[in-house]
Amino acid sequence: MNAVPNADPNADPDPSGAAPRPDPVRPADDEARATARRLLGAARHGALATLEPGTGHPLASRAAVALDADGAPLLLLSALSAHFGALGTDPRCSLLVGEPGAGDPLAHPRLTVAGHARRLDRSDPDAARVRARWLAAHPKAALYVDFADFSFWRLEPERGSLNGGFGRAYRLGREDLLAARAPAPDG
């Protein structure tokens, strides 16, 4: 049997015996990586999806977003929010970014980043840097960023799904989403 180029290895076999269809989702290329990083860089908010404790039902909410130095999404969440508790119970989440323009909203690029969220303690060595990055992106947050019920969370990307518009879907890995970090200096 000949292998079908770009076939989905996880597809259920067709009971009719027909050959599997090619997978319409493409692997990442330079254009897809650039589009994904542009969408993340431009995002000031996104739809954060978590798993509701107790029921496991999906829970989506709008959340403000900024980027860490390597391009990982940062979130500032109140302990009063449902997604704060959800992430504390199960850190798996996804974040959808991308703004529709004129015309059909499905014709515009959007990116879903899936991964695990990690809460940053205020004593974390990265906390001051993250706070500064957040305020650079969201200056009005200075009014509440230091409230005791607010915490920073870093979404550690595992994979991404880029829909670049009709017929342009890509799978991205962690390395496709994050910028390369400079090596730490010796000594």
- Supply the CATH number for residue 32's domain: 2.30.110.10
In a domain, 13, yes or no: no
The candidate with the shortest Cα–Cα distance to 91, out of 117, 113, 110, 109, is: 117
> Which contiguous run of DSSP H or E holds residue 77?
strand 73-78
In a domain, 9, yes or no: no
In a domain, 185, yes or no: no
pLDDT of residue 104: 79
Contact status, residue 108 vs residue 165, Cβ threshold 8 Å: yes
pLDDT of residue 3: 46
Q: Is the model's pLDDT at 47 over the cut of 80? A: yes
Q: Is the model's pLDDT at 12 over the cut of 80? A: no
In a domain, 72, yes or no: yes
Q: Is the model's pLDDT at 187 over the cut of 50? A: no
pLDDT per position as a tens digit, 59-71: 999 999 999 999 9
Contact status, residue 89 vs residue 81, Cβ threshold 8 Å: no
Tokens of 24: 């319409």
- For residue 129, CA distances in Å to 18, 92, 101, 132, 152 come to 55, 24, 33, 5, 11
Q: What is the pTM of this model?
A: 0.83
First and final C-alpha spacing in the chain: 57
Q: Is the model's pLDDT at 184 over the cut of 70? A: no
Q: Is the model's pLDDT at 160 over the cut of 80? A: yes
In a domain, 156, yes or no: yes
DSSP 8-state assignment for residue 101? -
Q: Which residues pair with 74 in a beta bridge?
A: 66, 154
User: What mean pLDDT do residues 169-177 have?
Assistant: 95
pLDDT of residue 2: 44
pLDDT of residue 149: 95
pLDDT per position as a tens digit, 137-154: 999 999 999 999 999 999
pLDDT of residue 166: 78
- Give the residue numbers spanning the domain of 30: 25-98+108-176
> Which contiguous run of DSSP H or E holds residue 154?
strand 150-163
Q: Give how far the C-alpha of residue 133 lies from the chain's centroid of Cα atoms, to the nearest Å.
A: 17
Mean pLDDT of the chain: 87
CA distance 131 to 146: 9
Q: Which residue has the tokens 């920073």?
A: 152
Q: How many domains does the chain have?
A: 1
In a domain, 183, yes or no: no
- State the sign of the Cα–Cα–Cα–Cα dihedral 36, 51, 116, 43: positive
Tokens of 29: 């290329």
The one-letter code for the residue type at 187 is G
Q: Is the model's pLDDT at 180 over the cut of 70? A: no
User: What mean pLDDT do residues 162-185 have?
Assistant: 78
